[in-house]
Structure 1
Amino acid sequence: MRNRDKIFVMVVDDHILMREGLKQLLELEEDIEVISQAGNGEEALDKILQDEPDVILLDINMPQMTGIDVLRRMKDLGLNSKVIMLTIHDDREYLFETMKIGANGYVLKDSDADSLIKAIRNVIKGKTYIQPSIASMLVDGMNKDDNEQDDEVKKIESLTKREYEVLMLIAEGLNNKDIASKLFISEKTVKNHVSSIFKKIEVNDRIQAAIFAFKNNIKKI
């Protein structure tokens, strides 16, 4: 029987040194245990079904079956493991794709240990985690023409003060329960605010809302 005080992690990367390095790094933490590893997407899916990890660290670029393919297949199968994408600076287009599919976190491969550990602990609590430098990468160079800028301003101005506060907290990775606690309102009220925000800023999920917030300096990076 599993020790529920621990977070059980699976590492998926085609480089064995990367996998072993992450395993040694993570297991310095008392609440994290690496229970399995995989070197390609097909092997990963087999082991996810077998081991049912709490959190999967998933490399985007792999031979045979990419991390994107693995994530998409996991969603098709209804698997509940949280997924943190491991990426490099050149993966911008892939990142947007994984956002649409529904990854829970995004961390650069060359990030420090604290970022990765924070990501794992955040996603297991139902939060999302976007490493700040990744958010910067995603919005960097997004030149908006005057019309688009006006549209963005109108979207922001359409938000109530409370919706603006909720959007900032979404961008920080908080889930509805945590937002409710922080703002001293009910979880149902938060859910209503989130639905209204999504409609007003024309996004479909929390990751897209967070990127909107980063892009428009609603949350400082």
Structure 2
Amino acid sequence: MSNKEYRYLIIEDDPAFVEILKVVVSKVPQMKLIGTSDNTLDAAKRIDLDKPDILLLDINISGLEGPEVLELSEHKPKTIVISSHPEEVMENYDVEYVSFIQKPLKNAEQLINAIHKCIDIMG
């Protein structure tokens, strides 16, 4: 396994869920949190400014819809989509994402596997 560090950004408006995500992602040693955002307008700016490798993106969030953030951003991080409404992701958006995680997070291993999948794609 590589010692390379991967920077990630959390776009999520539920502070309690942000903490859950941080705890789970911390189990992947090469991951470094570079920030969180609770609204999509701020998030679009942060993605281009901070250039994260991986994005944990909630679909239902204040501001724009989650996928619109990706359209506004020039930088295209590997994205893990998070939502309590999987049908919205599958039907309404043409979003390029690596994995989908359904809320509430019932299995931490699912998120950890999604992160490893992103890392494998990046090489």
TM category, shorter: 0.7 to 0.9
Deviations, residues 141-181 of structure 1 (Å, cap 9, x unaligned): xxxxxxxxxxxxxxxxxxxxxxxxxxxxxxxxxxxxxxxxx
Q: As a proportion of its length, which structure holds more strand?
A: 2
- Identical amino acids, percent of aligned pairs: 24
Write the distance in 2 (CA, Å) between the matches of 1:107 and 1:14: 16
Q: How many residues are paired up?
A: 119
After the TM superposition, which residues 29-178 of structure 1 pair with which residues of structure 2 at under 5 Å, given as runs? 29-74=28-73, 77=74, 79-88=75-84, 90-98=85-93, 100-109=94-103, 110-126=105-121
> Tell me, what secondary structure is at the counterpart of 1:9?
strand
Write the distance in 1 (CA, Å) between the matches of 2:24 and 2:86: 24
Higher-Rg structure is 1
What is the letter of the counterpart of residue 85 of structure 1?
A: V
What is the letter of the counterpart of residue 60 of structure 2?
A: N
Query: Who is 1:18 aligned against?
Result: 17
**How far 1:66 moved relative to its partner?**
1.5
Contact 1:11–1:57 (8 Å) recurs in 2 = yes
**How far 1:83 moved relative to its partner?**
0.8
> Tell me, what secondary structure is at the counterpart of 1:121?
helix
TM-score (norm 1): 0.49
Runs of 4+ in 1 over 3 A off after TM superposition: none
What is the letter of the counterpart of residue 86 of structure 1?
A: I
Q: As a proportion of its length, which structure holds more helix?
A: 1
Unmatched segments (≥5 aa) in structure 2: none
**1:93/1:21 Cα in 2 relative to 1: closer, same or farther (>3 Å)?**
closer
**How far 1:60 moved relative to its partner?**
0.5
> Tell me, what secondary structure is at the counterpart of 1:125?
helix
Q: What's the Cα RMSD here?
A: 1.9
**How far 1:40 moved relative to its partner?**
0.7
